């Protein structure tokens, strides 16, 4: 039996990992509170009760930045801290800056008119305090990546498969940081600051950052399968090859910048194609191997880790299929990225159940932990399919209330989306309650 696990440090670096976990959980709590109003603002009947379109846009900016950007990158900080063994002070500085940046981002909507811009990947509020918070968080994350990379490279300890997987995530993260900087200096000076400007600024790095999330998810698929009792048939060598293959497309990033202007249609298309055709290049074979091993194992009882594993693989496949159905700017796009984002999120949640006692908290043994991924997944499936169905009827993305112009089957589809969103919220709340209760005890 091939054992794909990570050792948990029992020193100050464990406390560093706990700090990143607390930041990740905090971002989910704050972002989750905004989710309720966001979902209701796009649901028939309820959308007339909450008619504030400006609130919708401001809330969705902070919601996306907290529940995708901060949640994913803070959890990445947790995972990378597990293999870090040098310069504890560097790790603490990175965490402190990321926490301060998150606090400022969360506070920004309450400090003045947000003037939200709904650009892709990192939507922004046009107010100085928001950009200060975003910049501080970015600085903390950059220090985290560089510190973790140097720690991995200079460590003389033998490297495990999962540590190599985390290393590939670090490489893609560094490339994403470089891409953000390259885009900043490559944007023509005559382009005014506005939605198009930030679209160009975050487009390249945003696409590459998705590879970082995917690499971490692949690591967790192997880890979750192992701890849930699945005898994996994949060899360590093949696992390393697939993890390297998943990182490989991001190495083309400099070529895109060198051959195309940042604001050219060719550049935008190149990054889209890079993610479209390269984003699942390793996930497809690895997911298929794990699923076949799960079927052969025929394990009788469900565990939170196993439920999270199966649901994560399923949703990543759904997101990939929907991605190939995108042909215009409608809600098929959020159907695609909600499925992909959920696949990563549920993998993070699944490994959290496993890590809680190893990080010094109470073990989560409640039956709700077994059902939480299922409830969360059922709601997200309705949410995603409602979006995809609505996209087939031409419902436009990034609209709310009367702006959607819902009629007939569009209302039915978006109603399913809204109901699924509320069920998913319940699943998310169950996860947060279980984790917080385990931490309190």
331: β partners: none
The candidate with the shortest Cα–Cα distance to 388, out of 347, 340, 424, is: 340
Helix (H) or strand (E) holding 205: helix 195-227
280 domain-assigned: no
The distance of Cα 260 from the centroid of its chain, to the nearest Å, equals 28
User: Do residues 38 and 113 make contact, with C-beta atoms less than 8 angstroms apart?
Assistant: no
Tokens 């696949």 appear where?
A: 343
Query: Residue 104 and residue 109: Cα distance in Å, rounded?
Result: 10
Give 189: exposed, middle or buried? Use CB within 10 Å, 0-12, 13-18, 19+.
exposed
265 domain-assigned: no
Per-residue pLDDT of the chain (441 residues; tens, 9 = 90+): 467 988 888 788 899 999 999 999 999 999 888 777 666 666 666 656 554 456 677 778 988 899 999 999 999 999 999 998 788 899 999 999 999 999 999 988 777 777 889 888 999 999 999 999 999 999 999 999 999 999 999 888 778 999 999 999 999 999 999 999 999 999 999 999 999 999 999 999 999 999 999 999 999 999 999 998 888 999 999 999 999 999 999 999 999 999 999 999 999 999 989 988 898 899 999 999 999 998 887 776 678 999 999 999 999 988 888 776 666 555 567 777 788 899 999 999 999 999 999 999 999 988 899 899 999 999 988 888 877 766 544 554 554 444 444 444 556 666 777 788 889 889 999 999 999 999 986
Query: Residue 441 and residue 437: Cα distance in Å, rounded?
Result: 6
**Helical ranges in 228-303 per DSSP H:** 236-247, 253-259, 265-278, 283-297
Domain range for residue 402?
A: 300-441
Query: Residue 181 and residue 186: Cα distance in Å, rounded?
Result: 9
User: Do residues 82 and 6 make contact, with C-beta atoms less than 8 angstroms apart?
Assistant: yes
Q: Please report the pLDDT score of residue 404 as a whole number.
A: 46
Which of the 8 DSSP states describes residue 231? -
In terms of pTM, does the model score above 0.75? yes
122 domain-assigned: no
101 domain-assigned: no
Query: Residue 42 and residue 404: Cα distance in Å, rounded?
Result: 8
Token output for 361: 């908290």
320 domain-assigned: yes
- Overall domain count for the chain: 1
Helix (H) or strand (E) holding 124: strand 124-125
337 domain-assigned: yes
User: Do residues 420 and 412 make contact, with C-beta atoms less than 8 angstroms apart?
Assistant: no
363 domain-assigned: yes
Token output for 161: 């498969």
Query: Residue 173 and residue 191: Cα distance in Å, rounded?
Result: 27
307 domain-assigned: yes
User: Do residues 16 and 91 make contact, with C-beta atoms less than 8 angstroms apart?
Assistant: yes
Helix (H) or strand (E) holding 116: strand 116-117
Cα dist from 417 to 44, 54, 353, 367, 401, whole Å: 10, 21, 28, 27, 14
């Amino acid at each position: 039996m091939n054992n794909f696990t990570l050792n948990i440090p029992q020193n100050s670096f464990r406390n560093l990992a706990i700090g990143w976990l607390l930041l990740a959980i905090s971002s989910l709590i704050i972002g989750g509170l905004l989710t309720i109003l966001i979902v209701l603002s796009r649901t028939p009947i309820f959308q007339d009760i909450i008619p504030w379109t400006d609130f919708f846009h401001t809330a969705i900016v902070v919601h996306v930045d907290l529940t995708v950007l901060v949640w994913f990158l803070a959890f990445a900080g947790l995972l990378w801290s597990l293999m870090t063994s040098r310069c504890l002070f560097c790790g603490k500085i990175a965490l402190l800056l990321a926490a301060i940046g998150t606090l400022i981002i969360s506070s920004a909507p309450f400090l003045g008119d947000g003037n939200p811009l709904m650009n892709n990947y990192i939507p922004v509020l046009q107010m100085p305090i928001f950009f200060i918070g975003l910049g501080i968080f970015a600085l903390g994350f950059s220090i985290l990546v560089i510190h973790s990379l140097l720690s991995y490279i200079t460590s003389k300890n033998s490297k495990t498969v999962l540590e190599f997987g985390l290393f590939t995530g670090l490489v893609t993260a560094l490339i994403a940081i470089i891409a953000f900087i390259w885009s900043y200096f490559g944007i023509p000076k005559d382009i005014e600051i506005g939605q198009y400007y930030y679209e160009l600024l975050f487009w390249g790095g945003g696409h590459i950052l998705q590879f970082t999330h995917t690499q971490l998810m692949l690591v967790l698929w192997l880890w979750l399968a192992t701890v849930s009792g699945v005898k994996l048939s994949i060899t360590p060598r093949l696992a390393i090859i697939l993890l390297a293959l998943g990182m490989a497309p991001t190495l083309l990033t400099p070529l895109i910048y060198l051959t195309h202007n940042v604001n050219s249609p060719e550049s935008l298309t190149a990054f889209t194609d890079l993610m479209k055709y390269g984003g699942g290049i390793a996930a497809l074979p690895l997911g298929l191997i794990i699923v076949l091993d799960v079927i052969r194992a025929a394990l009788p009882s469900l565990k939170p880790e196993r439920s999270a594993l199966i649901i994560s693989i399923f949703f990543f496949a759904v997101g990939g299929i929907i991605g190939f159905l995108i042909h215009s700017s409608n809600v098929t796009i959020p159907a695609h990225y909600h499925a992909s984002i959920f696949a990563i999120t549920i993998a993070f949640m699944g490994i959290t159940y496993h890590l809680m006692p190893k990080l010094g908290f109470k073990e989560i043994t409640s039956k709700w932990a077994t059902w939480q991924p299922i409830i969360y997944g059922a709601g997200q499936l309705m949410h995603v399919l409602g979006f995809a169905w609505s996209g087939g009827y031409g419902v436009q993305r990034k609209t709310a209330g009367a702006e959607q112009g819902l009629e007939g089957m569009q209302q039915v589809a978006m109603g399913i989306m809204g109901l699924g969103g509320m069920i998913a919220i319940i699943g998310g709340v169950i996860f947060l309650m279980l984790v917080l209760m385990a931490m309190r005890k």
